[in-house]
Structure 1
Amino acid sequence: MAVPKKRTSKSKKNARKANWKKKADKEAQKSLSLAKSVLQGKSTTFLYSIYTDE
């Protein structure tokens, strides 16, 4: 039979949430930086085609 587990403390929950948000902010900064470099034509790590079939 299932038994309820102990409750997670508020500080542990907040620490996990802060860590998750920090990772998301870091990824957002990386993607914004990549987008800026692509727009300026300075990107060397992102491959894309400038020709489109119309």
Structure 2
Amino acid sequence: MAVPKKRTSISKKKIRKTFWKRGGYWTALKSFSLAKSISTGNSKTFFV
């Protein structure tokens, strides 16, 4: 028979959520930086 799991504490859930959001922040920052360098023509690694 299935047994329900224990409830995760609010603080633990908050830590995981913040960590997950931080990863998205850095990805967005990198992509914005790349887009900026492409639009100005300063990109050395990305060819249009």
Q: Which runs of 5+ in 2 are unaligned?
A: none
Partner of 1:30: 30
Number of aligned residue pairs: 48
Kindly, what percent of the aligned residue pairs are identical?
A: 58
TM-score of the superposition, structure 2-length normalised? 0.90
Structure 1 residue ranges without an equivalent (≥5): 49-54
TM-score, normalised with respect to structure 1: 0.81
Instruction: Kindly state the Cα deviation for residue 43 of structure 1 after the two structures are TM-superposed.
Output: 1.0
Q: Which residue of 2 aligns with 1:51?
A: none
State the Cα RMSD in Å: 0.9
